[in-house]
Amino acid sequence: MTRIKICGVTSDDQARACVEAGADAIGINFVASSARRVDEQAARAIVRAVQARALVVGVVANQTVEAMRALRERVGVGCLQLHGDEGSKDVVDLLPHAYKAVRVADEADVSQADAMPGEYVMVDAKVGGALGGTGRAFDWGLVVGLAQRRKLVLAGGLTAENVASAIRQVRPWCVDVASGVESSPGVKDMARVVAFVGAVRGAG
């Protein structure tokens, strides 16, 4: 069964509702440039709200390993998603509670993702000037082979309308959605969340 991560959650109420709707993981964003960024107080409230019912992932970018490790410990997230220009060594130093997100536009990007250490790797759309959360999709055919070799988290432009097609083509371990279930950046539309979860569960 394909797992579901709802990313860019900004409040404990949102997190609770997403888990009740069927999310397996919640993403909270610490990237300063993101419209979905939360502070550590809000992040700890989200972690407490979710507790053991879902994995809470902290999204970070371009921090030192020491800073990322300290953040993880202070807030209590279960895992870190490295969404900046981090290298393999950064991932290794944070394993097993971290994975790398790689922005994909061509085969060279897929090779870079495949070279990242760890059991899991995430792929997102490559959009100039943006780290992620753009709502843009990429050519899913590029990562079909990668999904056969790794526990792949597929992100980038997923919605209730296209996620079943993405799952049938790629067979990812997990699908990740942010803007595709929002009414505005950081504000989750629960009807869209429920529809997204239903589409994933119905994809087989």
Long-range interactions of 177-184: CB distance < 8 A, separation 24+: 177/4, 177/5, 177/6, 177/7, 178/6, 178/7, 178/8, 178/27, 178/36, 178/132, 178/133, 178/135, 179/8, 179/133, 179/134, 179/135, 180/135, 181/6, 182/8
**Residue among 18, 24, 90, 124 flagged as catalytic:** 124
**Residue among 7, 24, 90, 174 flagged as catalytic:** 7
Rounded to an integer, what distance in angstroms lies between the CA atom of residue 153 and that of residue 100? 10
Catalytic residue list contains 7: yes
130, 166 Cβ separation under 8 angstroms: no
Catalytic residue list contains 114: no
Query: What are the CA-CA distances from residue 178 to residues 5, 19, 51, 62, 169 (Å)?
Result: 9, 14, 21, 21, 21
- Active site positions, annotated: 7, 124
